[in-house]
Every structure is written in C-alpha cells, then in structure tokens.
Amino acid sequence: MFAPVYLDHNATTPLDPAVREAMLPWLGERFGNASSRHEYGRAARKAIDEARAQVAVAVNAHPTEVIFTSGGSEANNLFIKGAAASMKPGLVAVSAVEHPCVREPATQLVRSGWRCVEIGVDTHGLIDLQAFEGVLAEKPKLVSVMLANNETGVIQDIAALAAGVRAKGGWMHCDAVQALGKIDVDFRALGVHGLSVSAHKIYGPLGAGALIVDKRVELAPLIAGGGQERNLRSGTENVMAVVGFGKACELAVAARQERAQRLAGLQLRLEAGLVQLGGQIFSAAARRLSNTSFFAFEGVDGETLVGKLDRAGFAVASGSACSSANPEPSHALMAMGVGESLARAAVRVSLGAGSTQQDVDGFLKALGENLASLRTLAAIAV
C-alpha cells in the first residue's frame, strides 16, 4: 500500500515499537481491573503506578501529582472547569493563541458568572507583555497559556508569566501537550499549578494523557463515580494506554536532546527552501520548536495546496480549523495580526523522529512543482 511521507507530527505521532511491546501484554494475558484486590488487579495497579512514576520523572513532578486522563483535551478541561467549580466566579484569562480545548471551556464559564478575556499576542505570537500586565491588574483567578503553540511552534516564557499570576493570587495552568518530548518540560521550574500532557504526541498511544496538578489546588472532578485518580477522574483505568504513556515518556526523555538537535538541522534546510520558493514563515524571529514550520505563499490557498501535496505523497496540515460547513482561517494567525487571505494560505510541516533529509528535499521538490501549477491556474483565472 502506498504510504505518503508523514510530515504532520504535531497532529499525532506513530506508535513507537518499544511502546507497543510494553502495551501488548495488556491486550492479552494481563487484563485485571486495577481496583480489584486479587493478583490480576494488583498487577494492573502496579503497572499504573510504574507508569505514573515514569510520567512524573518526564516533567519533574511527584507521582501523586499525576492524574491520568483520556488526553490533553480532558486534562485542560479538568483544570479549567475543575478549578472554577471550587471557587467563586471571577476573571479567567487565556492567551489568544490557545487550542480550542482551552478557549472553549474558558468561554463556557461565562454561563456560570465568570468573565473571560483573551490575552493578546504580538506579531510573532508571543504574549504581549503590556496586555498581560493589564490582565494581572484585574487579579485573574485563572490563567492559561500554552508552553509551545501547536501551529507556529512558538515557545512562551511560562515561568515569568506564572510568577506574575502567583503574585496576584491566581492559579496558572499550562498546556504543554506540544512541548513534551521536544523541549525540557519542568513542572517545578515552570511554577504553574496545572500542566497538561498527552501520549500520542510523543510516540505513545491515542487516548491517554495527564494533568499534573499541585496538590494544594482544589479541583472538582468532571467525571464522578468510583473515585479513581484521587477522586478527580473516576472510571476503570485504561491500563494498556497508561502503560504505553509511561513507556513513551521514558523514551522521550532519553531521546529529546539528540532528536531536537537533528530536527533543528532539518528545519533550517526546509525553511531555506521555503524562502527560496517565495514562502513567508510565520514567527520566524521567535524561539520555536525545532520540528515546526508554519508558512504561506501569498495567493495560494492552503487547503488546496495540502490536498495536492497529499496526492504527491506528502502528508502535511493546513492552517485552517476546518469543518465541512465552515472552514476558518487559523485563530492563532489572526490573533497575530496576519491578514485573512494570508492566514487561509497557511500550511504546517511538523517533523518527527523518522523524518530525513530525503523527506525534506522531496517535499520541497513536490511543493515547487505544485506551486507552479497553482500559480499558472491563478494567472489563467485572472
């Protein structure tokens, strides 16, 4: 079967063979419920405890601070909604470039008497410090800013932002889903109250994530029931996925530095080629993830280009948050002040562990050929 070159690792990553091996026993002879008191249950509980420790080591947290969830979206919702439910309504602030699974739950709090504001960013996608100081002056109760943006790859100075929030008595949350495995993610050094991470971005299984939460923070559960995960996430644990998450964290920590250096070289090669073809690279002057390049070619629709590249054998992403009825330009780019037409032209390439120089060179060749055909069609249409 034909398999396109995969250049969309910020969407999800392939399962690492070592992770698969760790998970396989829990698809067969090992099937206990971790709440059971017999040997099968004790084995499942031990496996979960070991995975919890592996996740904790990856982010410099204590195992008791790790709450397993179904993924990053649930972890983000658990902190924002769970924290809000434990306090009187006030101001919740999220950055203007957050993922929808942060923006949406924050917006939903308005129905419960909260006020929600977005913290503006500059043209590079970095938090506008003047806007941030304005928000701090209003003493927000909850603030959420992502560590690394899933589209642009821009890395925020979370430690400095968190210090400001703490000084005003607020709780700081950080979505670190895209950052884990690519840069150092240190729960203690960041100084946040909650940190969200996910397995499938680090060559682990889909359907597993975690909220790392300061034990001094009171959260109300989203899912009530049997009291699993410190009464914060009831339900029989997905032992197979949790075990895979733990193994993926162990491997990610071991490979992070070497992989980041290698991908940085590929990113330089890719972006030099993009510029040579006339592309504009978003957030080029900001500190970014070494695997992420978000770019556009003026007058070339991003969705159309992504489709053509897919047929040419390269899987990449567009900058639109699309539904079948209402495709929208990138929320992050619009917040950065990028014009709508250019935002609709945006395409993202996100490299991964298996990416090679041959992949990059082949992509640039296919891109150049498809740009030429699209520009010819545009000229004819005019």
Structural domains present in the chain: 5-12+256-381 (3.90.1150.10), 17-251 (3.40.640.10)
**Rounded Cα gap, residues 234 and 115, in angstroms:** 29
Task: Give the phi and the psi of residue 146 in degrees, each rounded to 5.
Answer: -75, 150
Q: How far apart, in Å, are the Cα atoms of 376 and each of 277, 279, 382? A: 15, 17, 10
Residue in the structure block whose two tokens are 């520009």: 375
Per-residue pLDDT tens over the stretch 49-92? 999 999 999 999 999 999 999 999 999 999 999 999 999 999 99
Which among 82, 339, 344, 333 is positioned nearest to 224, based on CA atoms? 82
Residue 323's pLDDT is what?
Answer: 43
**H, E, C per residue of the chain:** CCCCEECECCCCCCCCHHHHHHHHHHHCCCCCCCCCCCHHHHHHHHHHHHHHHHHHHHHCCCHHHEEEECCHHHHHHHHHHHHHCCCCCCEEEEECCCCHHHHHHHHHHHHHCCEEEEECECCCCCECHHHHHHHHCCCCCEEECCCECCCCCEECCHHHHHHHHHHCCCEEEEECCCCECCECCCHHHHCCCEEEEECCCCCCCCCCEEEEECCCCCCCCCCCCCCCCCCCCCCCCCHHHHHHHHHHHHHHHHHHHHHHHHHHHHHHHHHHHHHHCCCEECCCCCCECCCEEEEECCCCCHHHHHHHHHHCCEECEECCECCCCCCECCHHHHHCCCCHHHHHCEEEEECCCCCCHHHHHHHHHHHHHHHHHHHHHHHHHC
Residue 254 has pLDDT above 80, yes or no: yes
**Percent of the chain's residues with pLDDT above 70:** 96
Residue 379 has pLDDT above 80, yes or no: no
The pLDDT of residue 362 is 98
Query: If you search the block for the tokens 């909650």, which residue do you land on?
Result: 194
- For residue 1, the model assigns a pLDDT of 57
- With a cut of 60, say whether residue 325 has pLDDT above it: no
Nearest Cα neighbor of 165 from 119, 226, 124 is 119
Of 146-155, 216-225, 347-356, which range is least confident?
216-225
pLDDT, mean of residues 314-337: 82
Predicted confidence band of residue 326 (pLDDT cuts 50, 70, 90) = low
- Give me the pLDDT at residue 355, please: 98
pLDDT for 22 beyond 70: yes
Task: Point out the least confidently predicted range of 94-103, 160-169, 225-234.
Answer: 225-234
Is pLDDT at 324 greater than 80 in this prediction? no
Average pLDDT along the chain: 95
Mean pLDDT in residue range 230-236: 93
If you average pLDDT over residues 191-196, what whole number do you get?
98
Average pLDDT over residues 231-240: 94
Beta-bridge partner residues of 314: 5
- pLDDT-derived band at 118 (thresholds 50, 70, 90) equals very high
Average pLDDT over residues 211-235: 94
Q: Report pLDDT for 363.
A: 98
CA distances from 130 to 98, 120, 213 (A): 18, 9, 28
109 conformational bin, left if phi > 0, alpha if psi -120 to 50, beta if neither: alpha
> What pTM did the predictor assign?
0.95
**Range name among 14-28, 135-149, 365-379 with the lowest pLDDT average:** 365-379
**What residues does 209 pair with on adjacent strands?**
69, 198
Calculate mean pLDDT across residues 155-167: 98
Residue 380 clears pLDDT 60, i.e. is over it: no
Mean pLDDT in residue range 376-381: 58
Please report the pLDDT score of residue 136 as a whole number.
Answer: 98
pLDDT of residue 373: 85
The pLDDT of residue 382 is: 44
Residue 321 pLDDT greater than 90, yes or no: no
Catalytic site includes residue 322: yes
269-320 confidence digits (pLDDT tens): 999 999 999 999 999 999 999 999 999 999 999 999 999 999 999 999 998 6
